[in-house]
Structure 1
Amino acid sequence: MARYVGPVNKRMRFLGLEVPRKPGKGPRMNSRRRLSPYGLQLREKQKARFLYGILERQFRNYYDKASKDDGSTGDSLLILLEKRFDNVMYRTGMFNTRRQSRQAVNHGHFLINDKKVNIPSYEIKVGDKISWREKSKKSPLFEIATANTKNNDSAKWLSLNKTELSVQINNLPSASDAELEIDTRQIVEYYSRR
């Protein structure tokens, strides 16, 4: 599956997100033109896609699935994105970025209910137990994850066993658990035009 491999900080600055390091010499943000309503909608959609690391077709599929759910389409969309396997591993606090957690999932370091799963878009369910493979516990990544869990807290809807680094899914995430500055209303308006 393809993914964005370009300059991350430049992309974050363009989308109006906080950049972890100081930017280099470049144009000022306030000197840019004011965006049209369509431009604002597009920017919010692109921001969500970039933060979760997914491409347009998959994002559209998530939107279509969310629009069929009862309740708010925007909230349902955020919940679907939060239930992705790579995002759940990021929310445990074992990894610093979603990209890092996605790579760990792709490399097959984890078991879900004692079965190897290496698909980042796998949808987590309530009651799932995620654990490290025995072979992966010898890797340097496991040591990094152990160090990260001491400093970071996991999401409220997860139970993290810090000795084994296993995760139990207690309940589904809510839209407020996303903790992202994404205006889902703009995303819904963007797709309702089409």
Structure 2
Amino acid sequence: MARYLDSKCKLCRREGEKLFLKGEKCFTDKCAIERRSYPPGQHGQKKGRLSDYGVQLREKQKIRRIYGLFEKQFRIIYRHADRQRGVTGDNLLQMLESRLDNIVYLMGFGSSRAESRQIIRHNSILVNGKRVNIPSYIVTPGDTIEVDQKSREQLRIKSSLQSADNRGFPSWIEVDVKAMKGTYKNKPDRADLPATINESLVVELYSK
């Protein structure tokens, strides 16, 4: 599978907002958005007007980058969301939020979604007592996620969990910091998710 090897901070600058791709760095003054809030490249500071298609494309790219997905992966999730009952955009965000790598990140076991994927791949995460090493695994409400006993001494997990505890956890998950264990209580409502995401633009883009 292809990997993005360039600076992740460029992705935040390209979208014009923090995507929280670099863990703790994103919460400090060293964040690239704080220093240079314009897109990267020699023409980055030139402002141009985007077409309707351009606006839709940028929003899709932003959401893809937030959750660390490639185009093929994102399209598969969108098709599943489109086939479900209810509002397609809401279904899309709930499926993205229910991915195991995202839940591990929100629970503070990884400082970023990329690090959370690595932790999962290294067999450090248990779901309902069973080892799961698939980052795209869909967690269902009521599932319990915890760090494997052998991995609880890893400094990166301890540090990340402490930082997440200081910032606070979303209302739809419950975390026992000392036990390094959490519960996915329910799917998040749209009002609980960032207002900077406009999923309807993605639906318009893929509906053409």
Residue 173 (structure 1) shift: 1.9
1:85 aligns with one of 95, 100, 105: 100
Q: Specify every segment of 5 or more residues in structure 1 that has no aligned partner in the other structure, as ranges.
A: none
Counterpart of 1:110 in structure 2 is 125
Change in CA separation of 1:138 and 1:124 when aligned onto 2, cut-off 3 Å: same
Contact 1:82 1:178 in 2 (8 A): no
Residue 161 (structure 1) shift: 0.8
1:137-156 counterparts in 2 under 5 A?
137-156=152-171
Query: Could you tell me how far apart the structure 1 residues matched to 2:120 and 2:77 are?
Result: 20
Q: What code does the residue aligned with 1:132 have? A: V
Query: Could you tell me how far apart the structure 1 residues matched to 2:195 and 2:68 are?
Result: 14
Q: What code does the residue aligned with 1:6 have? A: D
Determine whether 1:123 maps to 2:138.
yes
Counterpart of 1:63 in structure 2 is 78
Contact 1:85 1:121 in 2 (8 A): yes
1:178 aligns with one of 193, 197, 201: 193
Residue 26 (structure 1) shift: 5.9
Query: Could you tell me how far apart the structure 2 residues matched to 1:167 and 1:156 are?
Result: 12
Counterpart of 2:21 in structure 1 is none
Determine whether 1:13 maps to 2:28.
no
Residue 149 (structure 1) shift: 3.9
Change in CA separation of 1:180 and 1:117 when aligned onto 2, cut-off 3 Å: farther
Contact 1:3 1:53 in 2 (8 A): no
Query: Could you tell me how far apart the structure 1 residues matched to 2:71 and 2:148 are?
Result: 32
Q: Find runs of 4+ consecutive structure 1 residues off by over 6 angstroms.
A: none
Query: Could you tell me how far apart the structure 2 residues matched to 1:149 and 1:62 are?
Result: 27
Partner of 2:54: helix, strand, or coil? Answer: helix
Over the aligned positions, Cα root-mean-square deviation in angstroms equals 2.1
Q: Specify every segment of 5 or more residues in structure 2 that has no aligned partner in the other structure, as ranges.
A: 19-25
2:62 aligns with one of 15, 26, 47: 47
Determine whether 1:188 maps to 2:203.
yes
How many correspondences in the alignment?
193
Shifted more, 137-146 versus 25-34: the winner is: 25-34
Contact 1:3 1:54 in 2 (8 A): no
Q: What code does the residue aligned with 1:191 have? A: Y
Change in CA separation of 1:150 and 1:183 when aligned onto 2, cut-off 3 Å: closer
Residue 15 (structure 1) shift: 1.7
Query: Could you tell me how far apart the structure 1 residues matched to 2:198 and 2:192 are?
Result: 14
Q: What code does the residue aligned with 2:150 have? A: K
Contact 1:112 1:130 in 2 (8 A): yes
Partner of 2:152: helix, strand, or coil? Answer: helix
